[in-house]
Amino acid sequence: MASVKPVFTARARLGEGPLWDDGSSRLYWVDIYNHRVHWFDPNTGAADYWAVADTIGAIALTTQNRILMAQRHSLAFLDLQTGETELVQSIEADLPNNRFNDGKCDAAGRFWFGSMSRVGPEASLYRYDPDGTLQVMETDLTISNGLGWSPDQKRFYLADSPLQQIFVYDFDLGSGAIANRRVHIDLTAGNAFPDGLTVDAEGCLWVAMWDGWGLQRFDPEGQKMAQIDMPVQRPTSCTFGGPKLQTLYITTASVGLSETEIEQSFYSGDLFALSTDVCGSPTHAFQEMP
């Protein structure tokens, strides 16, 4: 396997939530604490960002040339032409120790996103449907993270980072229901924490390991297959992109690192890429109602 290489110098505080737009051949991602939605064109090296007025935990492409954002305590749209934002709905505004974190769309165009809590298991997982309804899908989480689905759409994955566990649920694509939660990957024996993840076409999970200096790949049964080392301490998330979905893009963070740790991981906060011999799962857009 090829080595991981930096492809864009972002120096993000908390890079997260990468997603690939096949239509524009661009990668979109966020810098949570700098309140930015970034885009990067790997073909030309061009890049830019939109600055918004709040933290952004996760984003989703939509079918109307705008991006759906999970911000601190709300959902909002970002217009890609004007840069203006439009509030959709306030959520968890009564929980000041919470903010929204990871999220992505399922194959039916529903947006799944979760919160994180600084004071214990007060976070939840939500599903926002194209008809504008909001469903609570899971509760009593600490940091909802690492969402993903198996290629056959029968499994849903969710990490709770402080627990160092990745759960798997039975998933029904038609109804959007999840059931029968069980531990799929237990990482409590190590010192790193599962952050964002993606699932490839073979059903294997690629997991960014916060404080783990790299990623780990697991087979569909949850057995570790590979360790992918990186020159940064805090990888945060990953997604497949490129014309054949064979390039793994990886976001990273610099937040919370000491000066000495920054010196040891100089590229912290930058965007990385890894050429692979497997295909990833496609990015799904939020299916806005006409």
Active-site annotation, residues:
195
CA atoms within 13 A on the CB side of 143: 17
- CA distances, 264 to each of 5, 15, 101, 227, 235 (Å): 16, 18, 27, 20, 14
Burial classification of residue 117, based on how many CB atoms lie within 10 Å of its CB (0-12 exposed, 13-18 middle, 19 or more buried): buried
Entry field: residues in the chain:
290
According to DSSP, the residues that pair with 149 across neighbouring strands are: 156
Amino acid at site 39: W
Q: From CA 18, how far away is CA 267, in angstroms rounded?
A: 17
User: In sequence order, which residues have a C-beta less than 8 Å from that of residue 116 and are 6 or more positions away?
Assistant: 57, 98, 99, 100, 101, 123, 141, 142, 143, 144, 145
Q: 172-187: string of b/e by CB count within 10 Å (b at 16+)?
A: eeeebebeeeeebbeb
CB 19 within 8 A of CB 283: yes
According to DSSP, the residues that pair with 237 across neighbouring strands are: 251
The token pair that represents 99 in the structure block: 């903010």
CA atoms within 13 A on the CB side of 49: 16
The conformational region for residue 108 under phi > 0 = left, psi -120 to 50 = alpha, else beta, is alpha
